[in-house]
A and B are shown apart, each in its own frame.
Chain A
């Protein structure tokens, strides 16, 4: 039986192979440790806070990037997730909070952003990316390449790839 967890795990595996460090994973029906306070008056995020399915961080030359991924079995079911991303992209406090959670500090993780310097930057310069993941051939939906100022990418997996 195929579940959303297959997509989440395949995506996390792919990201890890591509050099991303996985910070947090929120399994379907489970508890998510990486929480972002809900943007005010957001109708697209039902809970008090937003828990992305996957959060990962990567050092790319001298830059550090953060990626948030939402997963669904069907591509056509990702509409709501794209709306959540739009909400986040339009809410500077949420975007700064994502960077705040991924910061480097004394006795903290080896890889992290310099939050102090990021917090003085314009929100459009924050090193955040979005992505969606789904199983191939599961409907049509236009996935934008950018959501506001932030890159948005997509990962798709064949059935075979999901059961490895």
Chain B
């Protein structure tokens, strides 16, 4: 190979003449080469290939894994049979964005291909502050000990420092002891309920107790910084509700096939430079990996999961998992079960916040967005006006379900598409709330225990202008159907498309939405009236036999 034509930075001795494996990448070449360099199975036996943007130029065997979204890396044998799918992200999951990449793992689980997600389960963040009056007061406090105490309280979120100080708790150690003893009376802002959470925070992030070594809390004096005229705060972001759903998603999916998250480790030393993230900067032994912003190498970061006799860091465990997947042996769980399940990164009580069980359907309008479980009968009765013009067979297909899961969102910006994060969020709900998973579950059959309703409220400008979803169905139908369009209503157009085009040919604006939702239910709040739109998605259509598992779109989900 001529040096100039060399598409890889791998040294010659690592480029096999007859590769046993291929590493397909959609992210960066560096990630593919990092994977090859540290996997015992891939090193010297694999070469990286860039995945073409158009799926028709990608090997047929891996297309189903890319049909919903594209994972960063797919390792295949030399005949392109997939062995593992991998995603690497440096940004910590946050709020609704926490789950946005999950659809790419769903495709792997559906095809029983193992996958790994390297992500920061905890991280340091640097953010602009708004409440500058309060911060100014703290930063200008002349008593240095009091200032440090007040800043320490700021790192504990709910604790009101000034009031606590005035209540007689005046030192950090005194406050810590009060928290350890759950003596919350003089800690302003803390109640009987929240003292337990505060105690857990202290234990995990300040005292460093427990089998999992969590990130170290921000030192008080590094919490606020004035940059120009703006205050920034450096804080520790720990897993919350949406992250707990994500970890449980991996936990449940692993019933079918190992689908494991691995923690990308941060270090306080890099707090301001890279928000704490550790990278390979200059690797003397693998100079081709230097200066490419790659994740750490095995053994570079500290061991954070000290249970079940584990002495390896997360990246070493990740590579052990990759090699096990290549060899198709899954005897070990690489200490993932404890990482995913409640206990280490999230507490069981967070489950109560995943969705609200409502007895009155009207309660879905108490909040703008969220998850609800409600009686199917009540739902159809409440919206009977909307359903009265619908073929009754559709409604009947819900008769066997006592409950529905409603995922409600709202949108006020017509230009803000509904693909990210909702494509991933729907994939999360598909696994978490609508099925009973067993080892042999075939996800693509969509055997529901509880149908999923994607309820979209368009308000303000979006009520009149947002294009989701009929515009996208019409546009696709126009593109692919050559006969007389007038004889089809929107639902029939969708069915025709699902029967005649590949799933990846559906644009991202609707692809996951029609796949995971039993019903897509849109309310356009225009002035004093509500205009409804309704379409039934793949799970309903399969259940009603209007769509078969052999139909084109569904078939293209399978390897």
Contacts and interface: CB of A to CB of B under 8 A. Distances in A.
Interface stretch (B195-203, B247-255, B265-273): B265-273
A13 B225 CA distance: 33
Please classify how large the interface on chain A is, using the bins under 10, 10 to 19, 20 to 34, 35 or more: 35 or more
A88 interface: no
A125 interface: no
A159 interface: yes
B368 interface: no
Contacts of A22: 281-282, 291
B29 A105 contact: no
A9 B90 CA distance: 20
Interface in B263-315: 268-275, 277, 279, 281-282, 290-293
A5 B227 contact: no
Contacts of B230: 93
Given A9-B292, A13-B291, A103-B272, A27 B28 contact: yes
Given A30-B27, A97-B228, A108-B268, A25 B273 contact: no
Interface stretch (A32-40, A79-87, A144-152): A32-40
Interface stretch (B3-11, B339-347, B513-521): B3-11
B274 A33 contact: yes
Given A12-B290, A105-B272, A119-B227, A31 B90 contact: yes
Contacts of A34: 273-274
B293 A93 contact: no
A92 interface: yes
B3 A163 contact: yes
A32 B273 CA distance: 11
Contacts of B30: 5, 27, 30
Contacts of A93: 227-230
A2 B229 CA distance: 43
Interface residues of B, number: 41
Taking each of A1, A33, A109, which has the highest tally of chain B beta carbons within 10 Å of its own beta carbon? A33
A54 B292 CA distance: 10
Interface string A1-45: 111010011001100100000111111111111100100000000
A8 B291 CA distance: 8
A25 B225 CA distance: 24
Given A1-B7, A27-B293, A100-B227, A107 B269 contact: yes
B496 interface: no
A134 interface: no
B228 A24 contact: no
Contacts of A8: 291
Interface in B211-232: 219, 221-222, 225-230, 232
A24 B271 contact: no
A102 interface: yes
A52 to B, nearest CB: 12
B4 A163 contact: yes
Interface in A102-154: 102-103, 105-109, 115, 119
A5 B29 contact: yes
Contacts of B270: 109
B90 A106 contact: no
A102 B272 contact: yes
Nearest to B289: A9
A102 B226 CA distance: 14
Contacts of B268: 107-108
Given A27-B292, A108-B268, A159 B4 contact: yes
Contacts of B293: 24-27, 30-33
Given A22-B282, A107-B269, A97 B274 contact: no
Nearest to B278: A33
Interface in B36-94: 89-91
B128 interface: yes
A59 interface: no
A1 B29 CA distance: 12
A126 to B, nearest CB: 11
Interface of A: 1-3, 5, 8-9, 12-13, 16, 22-34, 37, 54, 92-93, 96-97, 100-103, 105-109, 115, 119, 159, 163
18 contacts: A1-B7, A2-B4, A9-B290, A24-B279, A25-B281, A25-B293, A27-B28, A28-B28, A30-B27, A30-B28, A31-B89, A33-B293, A34-B273, A37-B128, A93-B228, A96-B228, A102-B272, A103-B272
The list of the 6 closest CB pairs from A to B, nearest first, reads A12-B291, A93-B228, A33-B274, A30-B28, A163-B3, A25-B291
Given A29-B28, A30-B293, 9 more contacts: A9-B291, A13-B290, A25-B281, A25-B292, A27-B293, A29-B27, A30-B27, A32-B293, A97-B227
